[in-house]
Structure 1
Amino acid sequence: MAVDRFGIAFVHQPPEPRQGTYVRLAEDRGFESAWALETRLMRDGVTPLTAWAARTNRICLGTAMINPFTRTPTLMAQTFATLDEISNERSILGIGAANQMLVEDFHGEQFERPLTRTKETIEAFRQFLTGDRVDYDGETVSINGASLDFQPPRPNIPVYMGVTGPRMLRLAGAIADGVVLNAFVSEGYIKNAISLIEDGANEAGRDPPDVGMVPVFSIDADGHSAKETVKPLLAEYVCNLPGLEDARRKVGDPLFEREDVRSEIMEPVRETTETESIEVAAEHVPDDFVTELAAAGTPTECVERLDTYFDLGLDFLVPSLMGEHYGYGIETIADHFDLDDAT
């Protein structure tokens, strides 16, 4: 019988050191991984992992996701080999291409050829972990005679790719150790994404990697209140990021192709944000739309949604906690899925 596997992450809050306290609780309750989100300009995705490593013993520690434009493969190798030393070989490189706004507007770098840049960064990163000299002459990455000045603890730190569009999904199937699907995607999208990942693996002549996702998770005895917590982020994420919408459309996301969703939710949200805050725009997001795209509501609603994600064929889930009830959420998941018995 397959064991349901879980990681844990946090959407913006709580601040450290409270996050570390909840990561320790997650480890004690049987979660297998903890992920630091590097979303927009919130906390960076690496520093929290070093703090969590000092407070835990078993749980794996990953970034979700750092990008190949603002960090070089050389720096990534230095960083994750060091984190592997600190954590006793528990690090995971979570990498994704990010988006044009983040890379160009926020960092002043050129967002060019993201597929090739991601692929070449992963290849060069893996070469560094052998401890040997790296000479890499790619189309977007060039390294001339560099090697780490210390021996990496292991030559095979897992690389998990955070991907959304069809070409990236196929690439992840071909080269990644694991794949993490984006938040706020529908059941139809998940099925199509898994198929594309399998296609990429088959073309590369390998077994498909494990596939998971980071569903936003908001739990409260008052289910409506839990959904209200999610609505501003959902409104911004699915209605105001055209790059993500285009990627979902290319993969096939039936929910977002519905005329009522476009005319009654997405268009009003976009129009409202032209003159009002995202919180005001989120008033156009109904509860049932949140239910379609997140694990949000009462404890029963939340775990039923997680059950549904596993039924779609996902191998693991990384609930990304929002709201105030972080410990309650961790305990609810652990109890429902018997995580203590799985460790």
Structure 2
Amino acid sequence: MDQESTDTQTAGVETSHLESADAASQSETSEADVAKTSATSTKASTTLSPARKRKAQIPARDPVRVNLKTLMESGIHFGHQTERWCPKMMPYIYGARNNVHVINLDYTMELWEKARKAIVEIAQRGGTCLFVGTKKQTRSVIETAALECDSYYVTSRWLGGALTNFETIKKSIDRMEKLESLLEKANMEVPEIRLNKKERLMIQRDLEKLEANLGGIRDMKKVPDLLFVVDIGKESIAIAEARSLHIPVVGLVDTNVDPKFINYPIPANDDSVKGVKLFASAVADAVNEGHRAYASRYNRPSQSDGNNGPSRVVSDVKEVPRSKKGGDADEDRRSRANAG
């Protein structure tokens, strides 16, 4: 059976059972009203998304420190091979070693501080942040950092129009939530909802795909106020959408990319898992700092969903700094350069 026929069959199963679920819901309105408080608390404990369940398992940690020592330890200073460089990155390159460019960490720390201040400023005005990083080796790092600061994330695949066509994305999120409700009612053996083994399997597979692509933004009620991006070359579509909506972008820029499309570029090795974790955690700390200031100012709890805070905040686009002149690879080239 081809993919098109499978999707059609799944859609038919969804439609018929969702209609039954709606009818059952309407017939049970009075009973639901009687036990409203109890039902609400029960639902909250049983319908947590996989991401929110994982958040409860994330251990507390101390704020990270971005300094010369931590940057060196994480291998942030190793760029790409010299023949793969982008001349626009020359101001941030210290030199070359074994045909691998070395990033000037003085600029990394300087530009990170500018980015950090912008993140705190946006968060303390009630703004939200979206973490974007779809590299396999950094997916868990990005997800963890986003959950630590009650932010949103995309780690599987960037869906075209996720920002510029957000209303359509919201419809997909609504469909995912309806499918989850359908399965939940089937598991509770609601008389009007009966699913055979094949129907359950089809809906479960559909849910897994939707969760992978939309799980990190399912609670996002509006477009974010800031993007944090790892590997701006790979995430070029996300950056283009953010630019079209005048959403500021903080991004790690390696020696093979043009930093001019980023509002707050941070010269760094975007292939280093330790380096990505360092900056993702630092961004999470900055967001939390801003949220605490926002909560203190308005005497309210820190935000945990897209409903809190004012309408979208947009910072002024700042030109990439140009200072003194200086000059998809895997970890092997980093190791060879370090060994040399």
For CA contacts below 8 A with separation 6 or more, give which structure has more relative contact order: 2
* TM-score of the alignment, normalized to the shorter chain, above 0.5: no
Higher strand share: 1
TM category, shorter = under 0.3
Higher helix share: 2
TM-score when normalising by structure 2: 0.25
